[in-house]
Structure 1
């Protein structure tokens, strides 16, 4: 069961990881400016704050949550196709609005899957820890394959060619989602859905509150890195595709770091891991900004991207471990989708701000992202130092 889950989640998340860079490249190809692509990416992600909590309620109260996940995959795929078709044909405001509607299903590709891990792994704590690490590694695999695929497909087939490939991967994940195990429906299922229960749990639990707040700040900085990457490649190597490949370097480093983490059996204190990994992300982003000051220093950007990934991998694993540890069993999907939606929305805010900054200079957006990582470290450190 875990093998089928991992195959589906890797396909779904690879398609998701392709979708953002694919829209960025499509917008850049159509207008010659990063503004449209950054706006589409922001639209795709900003609506997650609305979709996440409601999706979590529905997943916790559905006997077959996989069927709902499959429907979200279909909706997300269809929306991406419509946005891609409209680039260069429809007004930008219309496309951003359509991207925002599509993004309502976005948390299904992140926290929606992760919330089902106890159904897949069973009640054994050791198996759940292993499944959590593998699930976090799936983000790294997707982050490695997705941007790399965008770079290759865009180079061969043009600026909008990567979106259909992203959609195909989302559709490949449908069988795995559809066949996820059933679970017992809560006794309160006949009552009106408590949409804000997951939010309340996050706000009232000090550990979840700080982990969520810190991850939101860090994710806003990550949005700046993603938007800046194509422009950084253009500045350093004369090719935005080379910048997109930096995201693959980041994912590869994250996968390697998480593999090492799994081999060592995980740290004794996940809260401390959040602090250290976020600090490394900030250092990497600052180094990437420094690379932009030297013409032809693409290799420096590669090293910086690897530093970012070496921090992002363990950070995500630690965040999942904290949520699994702290979330009540009956509200686990809500906690994960609420956390995911808040992170995605923060990513959207960072992406929107990075658009005009990176249009001026990629280094400006990268420095802003590094500053946000410093703020996130302060939030995490306060908890870890208790």
Structure 2
């Protein structure tokens, strides 16, 4: 055991600095590419094999809905002597289950395919928030280095959300959706190998595992702690609201009298904006309290949604989608800073996964709600989103005022 710890510390010294950060970026990008493209691959697989839309939606839900279970296994990260092993195991399990699901489809009952996809989905939060929980051990102790590294982390999410579906589309058109899904499985497996080569981070519990909070204790802590509570509800409401943009883009093409394919240009501009914003955070890390930054940047997100809503032409719509992506990236970086700086050391992994799981769930709910609301008017989901974020900002301001100590 002593030899293992010594070798882990040696690996940590060898992996610090840019070497460790580079490994982190590649590992996170691979894992999030797999997670971001899996749903598209499964839906394409089902539809191209003659399956109905209901079956495609059901199997797609099998890989997204279990993300909510992630926080209940997150405690393993905080309990483990080496949290990297838990995350690497999740990447391997995700890879095997996804590959098995693809191979089983059409050869076995759909229930088995759904079960295998559910296993992959349960590992999903460990590929997103779980990997992010390793970043503080790599980025350095000073705030400037931490926040610059968080810019890289935001970029990996942008890469995953953009490259994942793009890889699926390209491989599906060249070969088949099944092969595309297998490529994603290989990416997740490669992420596992790199995760084990990240710097070692000693557990915060110091051998006293009873001091590590459980899943419900962690969510209770987040509900009671002002900054963490605000991090959670602002992340959820912004994710819910921004999820309307791809749906809105499709309906805007009809309003502007342009080809439906132009919606792809808008959504691509949003993805490029996310990457642009992450580069901005790298070059000029955020300064100040994450709590205040989230509120200010959430108002910028409202401005981005409003600009999209009033866009009169395609070129302006593309530009506003790009701006919306930029401000969303800055907001996301602020939430990562909040999770890093406000989460208790002994429950950091669980806080990261709770927020990640709720964000993914909110995004899915936002997409579904936008699909319904745009049936009435394409502006409704944007107006609702702006209203929700505005209420969250107002509530955060009121909470901070109430938390300030009164001067006698």
Q: TM-score, normalised by structure 1?
A: 0.81
Counting only pairs closer than 5 Å after superposition, residues 50-89 of structure 1 correspond to structure 2 as 50-55=69-74, 57-85=75-103
Q: SS of the counterpart of 1:184? A: coil
Q: SS of the counterpart of 2:209? A: coil
| Pair 1:378–1:24, CA change in 2 (3 A) | farther
**Distance across 2 between alignment mates of 1:27 and 1:243:** 24
User: 1:198 maps to what in 2?
Assistant: 218
User: 1:126 maps to what in 2?
Assistant: 144
User: 1:343 maps to what in 2?
Assistant: 359
Q: CA contact under 8 A between 2:249 and 2:267: conserved in structure 1?
A: yes
Q: Deviation per CA, 1:7-66, whole angstroms, max 9, x where unpaired?
A: 2111111222222333344445456976554444433222222222421x1111111111
**Distance across 2 between alignment mates of 1:188 and 1:381:** 40
**Distance across 2 between alignment mates of 1:197 and 1:365:** 41
Q: SS of the counterpart of 2:141? A: coil
| Pair 1:103–1:225, CA change in 2 (3 A) | farther
User: 2:31 maps to what in 1?
Assistant: 12
Q: SS of the counterpart of 1:63? A: coil
Alignment of 1:324 with 2:340, yes or no, is yes
User: 1:211 maps to what in 2?
Assistant: 231
**Distance across 2 between alignment mates of 1:230 and 1:163:** 26
User: 2:121 maps to what in 1?
Assistant: 103
| Pair 1:129–1:115, CA change in 2 (3 A) | same
**Distance across 1 between alignment mates of 2:379 and 2:193:** 39
5+ residue gaps, structure 1? 292-296
User: 1:294 maps to what in 2?
Assistant: none
Alignment of 1:144 with 2:157, yes or no, is no
**Distance across 2 between alignment mates of 1:244 and 1:36:** 25
Q: Number of matched residues?
A: 373
**Distance across 2 between alignment mates of 1:192 and 1:263:** 36
Q: SS of the counterpart of 1:47? A: helix
User: 1:375 maps to what in 2?
Assistant: 388
**Distance across 1 between alignment mates of 2:133 and 2:234:** 20
| Pair 1:36–1:237, CA change in 2 (3 A) | farther
Task: Between the two structures, name the one with larger relative contact order (CA 8 Å, sep ≥ 6).
Answer: 1
Displacement after TM superposition at 1:78 (Å): 2.5
Q: CA contact under 8 A between 2:211 and 2:346: conserved in structure 1?
A: no
Q: SS of the counterpart of 2:214? A: coil
Displacement after TM superposition at 1:149 (Å): 2.1
User: 2:294 maps to what in 1?
Assistant: 271
Displacement after TM superposition at 1:162 (Å): 2.5
Q: CA contact under 8 A between 1:47 and 1:104: conserved in structure 2?
A: yes
Q: CA contact under 8 A between 2:168 and 2:177: conserved in structure 1?
A: no
Q: CA contact under 8 A between 1:224 and 1:365: conserved in structure 2?
A: no
Structure 1 stretch displaced more, 213-222 or 3-12: 213-222
Q: Deviation per CA, 1:71-100, whole angstroms, max 9, x where unpaired?
A: 111222233234434556667676555433
Q: Deviation per CA, 1:300-357, whole angstroms, max 9, x where unpaired?
A: 76445424422321121111112222112222111111111111222333345566x4
User: 2:305 maps to what in 1?
Assistant: 282
Q: Deviation per CA, 1:120-170, whole angstroms, max 9, x where unpaired?
A: 223333322222222122212323322332332233224444212222211
Q: SS of the counterpart of 2:81? A: coil
Match of 2:279 among 256, 259, 262: 259
Q: SS of the counterpart of 1:123? A: coil
Larger Rg computed on CA atoms:
2
**Distance across 2 between alignment mates of 1:163 and 1:227:** 24
| Pair 1:287–1:11, CA change in 2 (3 A) | farther
5+ residue gaps, structure 2? 1-19, 402-408
